[in-house]
Amino acid sequence: MSPVRRDEKQPIYNRIAVLRAERGLSRAQLATLINVNVQSVGALERGDYYPSLDLALRICEAFDLPVEAVFSRTPFTAMSTELYRGRTEN
């Protein structure tokens, strides 16, 4: 996997656990899809490690989403907030 230890000065946040749950995937199923072991999926979800660029792209392909929908330098807001924000601003 070539994980990178987390960097407190430049954190990378992710939505892997949320996306996995939305799609009804177990950690083992996601691990198979992205060709890593189950423990690596857990470490990525917790933010203990950051994925290599190759692994990040495989994760995005598994969810069929662009990188910015899965990873960010700033904390994600709740998806419901993002979905409904546009409705209240109109």
pLDDT of residue 12: 92
pLDDT of residue 58: 98
Dump the DSSP string for 58-90. Answer: HHHHHHT--HHHHEESSPPPPHHHHHHHHHHH-
pLDDT of residue 77: 81
> Measuring CA to CA, which residue among 56, 67, 46 is closest to residue 2?
56
Establish if 3 belongs to a structural domain. no
Integer Cα distance of 63 and 41 in angstroms = 14
The total number of structural domains in the chain stands at 1
pLDDT of residue 1: 45
Q: Which residues of the chain have pLDDT under 50?
A: 1-3
Establish if 18 belongs to a structural domain. yes
pLDDT of residue 82: 65
CATH number, position 36: 1.10.260.40
Range of the domain at 37: 9-89
- The answer to whether the predicted template modeling score (pTM) of the entire model surpasses 0.85 is no
Establish if 54 belongs to a structural domain. yes
